[in-house]
Amino acid sequence: MDKVESSPALHHAWVSSASRRVRFALEEKEIGYQSILVDLLAFEQHTPEYLALNPNGWVPTLVHDGVPVVESSVICEYIDEILQGPPLVPHDPHERARMRVWAKWTDEVVIRAFQVANWNRMMAPVARTWTDDEVEQRLAAIPVPDRREDWRRMARQPFSKADIDHAISNVRRTLERMESDLAAGPWLAGANFSLADIHLSPYIVRIDEHVDRGVRLQDYPRCSDWWQRLSSRAAFARARIEPVTFKD
Amino acid sequence: MDKVESSPALHHAWVSSASRRVRFALEEKEIGYQSILVDLLAFEQHTPEYLALNPNGWVPTLVHDGVPVVESSVICEYIDEILQGPPLVPHDPHERARMRVWAKWTDEVVIRAFQVANWNRMMAPVARTWTDDEVEQRLAAIPVPDRREDWRRMARQPFSKADIDHAISNVRRTLERMESDLAAGPWLAGANFSLADIHLSPYIVRIDEHVDRGVRLQDYPRCSDWWQRLSSRAAFARARIEPVTFKD
């Protein structure tokens, strides 16, 4: 496939982990992009204008050649296929499969685990201040039923200790799987830096939020070494993948 | 990438939807493969021998060039990349992205919806006959904690009406999204038959199981037409994607 050098537009938020994955990929390609910020706390992701681009109502969305591309793991593969720059998908088909298994694991296990483990800390204090009318108004604008239920729960019935314990066990399981795969590294999919490493980065940058639950990156020596190498990449700094702080 | 003509081995079960997706892809390629059946009701997927191939303990697993490839959506892309035959991934990058969004939707929404909607019907009658000791023994062999919790629930605390209603609403949502995307068809990702169509097929073949809940394929005219075209493909018949019957 011929690679083109054209400038996409990214609708994103600095603090959104999914947006961070896509920014990291774009920065590795050293491709300039138009940055369009979506104010998540003002719920701009639920406006009719944004929903026309992304019917799920979440960030990011990449618009390229006038067509929106959604879902961060799908956008990342799209970026690699269409834009010039260093490859982010391994050439070897077995490494490529490993990379995609990590994309799936991130999407299906890691996102949820961090969401549950962090939600009471980050969004619950905001959501608790809403009146019942405000809650219903917010929920009515959320197009995906499962996501709507999550928000209802956050606003009125925070995750239980059992939910959080389960989430933390999935965080540990992720670190264990990373440690195992990195034995055949030095990168998660094998010999080459790839989207697998990018997908995990916005979650591992926040791993210290779980120190008080006994999760410590230094207990996983290969993960620690991987994190040193990954976080010293120039593209990582440009993508602004930083720890998140909360008002207590 | 050079395509090779070599024969993979597929560890699978006839009735498993994930196995069906991979068989459909292999049959479209018209590539012979070694069929290795895994007896799910005898829990062969939890034996140490099988877990060495697939640490998640579920089917299918493709073994090619001596290396196991796991996760049906990942295996399907692997098959397209490595094996000769008609392409199953669209050439156009935007269609390709659409195809991958359907793979994600299948993995993250459709599988779960059908699992919840069918479990009480299919597995609950089996699981209810187990003693507590048998339940614990079965569960101890399941490597993925989330899956273990599902089985515990099925065996002793079946899904509630609210759970099933939610699952059915996701089945409807899937048909609505299909109907919408097929307007720009004739296939789910666009102009060409692709893995997107393959991924949905093992679930739509079972859609009649939800007639008594008001879900009818004929209410979605583009889906009905798509299903006619898809289910008359020669590869579909060879892949043995058939309705499933239950003992009541």
Six-digit token pair at A51?
């929903």
Residue type, B122: M
Give the chain A residue whose CA is nearest to the CA of B163. Answer: A146
Going by pLDDT thresholds of 50, 70 and 90, the confidence category of residue A3 is low
Instruction: Check pLDDT > 90 for residue B160.
Output: no
Residue A6 sits at φ, ψ, to 5 deg, of -135, 155
Mean pLDDT of B54-64: 93
Six-digit token pair at B195?
């893995």
Q: Is-contact A34 A9, C-beta < 8 A?
A: yes
Instruction: Check pLDDT > 50 for residue A71.
Output: yes
Give ipTM to 2 decimals. 0.90
Mean pLDDT of B17-37: 95
Residues 6+ apart with CB under 8 A from A214: none
Chain A positions touching B99 (Cβ under 8 A) are none
- Taking only the tens place, the pLDDT of each residue in B199-234 is 999 999 999 988 888 999 999 999 999 999 999 999
What is the percent of chain A with per-residue pLDDT over 70, rounded to a whole number?
Answer: 96
- DSSP label at residue B110: I
Instruction: Check pLDDT > 60 for residue A2.
Output: no
- Taking only the tens place, the pLDDT of each residue in B104-115 is 999 999 999 988
Instruction: Check pLDDT > 70 for residue A5.
Output: no
- DSSP label at residue B137: H
Q: Which of A101, A145, A166 sits opposite B74 (nearest CB)?
A: A101
- Specify the DSSP element, H or E, that contains B17: helix B17-28
- pLDDT at residue A248, as a whole number: 44
* CATH of range B9-82; options 3.40.50.300, 3.40.605.10, 1.20.1260.10, 3.40.30.10: 3.40.30.10
Taking the CA of residue A197 and the nearest CA in chain B, the distance in Å comes to: 17
Q: Any idea what the Cα angle at residue B103 is, between residues B98 and B106, rounded to 5°?
A: 125
Taking the CA of residue B73 and the nearest CA in chain A, the distance in Å comes to: 9
Give the chain A residue whose CA is nearest to the CA of B3. Answer: A93
- Specify the DSSP element, H or E, that contains A116: helix A111-122
- pLDDT at residue B3, as a whole number: 59
Taking the CA of residue B145 and the nearest CA in chain A, the distance in Å comes to: 8
- For residues A126 and A119, give the distance between their C-alpha atoms in angstroms, rounded to a whole number: 10
Going by pLDDT thresholds of 50, 70 and 90, the confidence category of residue A149 is confident
Q: Give CA B63 to chain center in angstroms.
A: 18
Q: Which of B65, B74, B94 sits opposite A100 (nearest CB)?
A: B74
Mean pLDDT of A164-190: 95
Residue B233 sits at φ, ψ, to 5 deg, of -70, 145
Residue type, A74: V
- For residues A18 and A111, give the distance between their C-alpha atoms in angstroms, rounded to a whole number: 9
What is the C-alpha end-to-end distance of chain A, expressed in Å?
50
Taking the CA of residue A78 and the nearest CA in chain B, the distance in Å comes to: 7
Going by pLDDT thresholds of 50, 70 and 90, the confidence category of residue B133 is confident
- Taking only the tens place, the pLDDT of each residue in A188-215 is 999 999 999 999 999 999 999 888 889 9
What is the percent of chain B with per-residue pLDDT over 70, rounded to a whole number?
Answer: 96
| CATH T-level fold of A93-233 | Glutathione S-transferase Yfyf (Class Pi); Chain A, domain 2 (1.20.1050)
Q: Give CA A10 to chain center in angstroms.
A: 15
**What are the C-alpha distances in Å from B194 to residues A98, A193, B2, B86, B94?**
22, 29, 20, 10, 13
Cis peptide before B87 (omega within 30 of 0): no
Q: Is-contact A230 A197, C-beta < 8 A?
A: yes
Q: Which 3 state secondary structure label does DSSP give A138?
A: helix
- For residues A81 and A241, give the distance between their C-alpha atoms in angstroms, rounded to a whole number: 23
Chain B positions touching A75 (Cβ under 8 A) are 97
CB-CB under 8 Å, B75 with A97: yes
Going by pLDDT thresholds of 50, 70 and 90, the confidence category of residue B248 is very low
Instruction: Check pLDDT > 90 for residue A159.
Output: no
Mean pLDDT of A129-150: 81
Residues 6+ apart with CB under 8 A from A161: none
Instruction: Supply the mean pLDDT for chain B.
Output: 90
Chain B positions touching A94 (Cβ under 8 A) are 65, 67, 69
Give the domain ranges of chain A. Answer: 9-82, 93-233
Give the residue, A121 or A179, on which the prediction is more confident. A179
Instruction: Check pLDDT > 80 for residue A151.
Output: no
Most confident region among B5-14, B66-75, B149-158 by mean pLDDT:
B66-75
Residue from B114, B113, B150, B115 nearest B135 by CA = B150
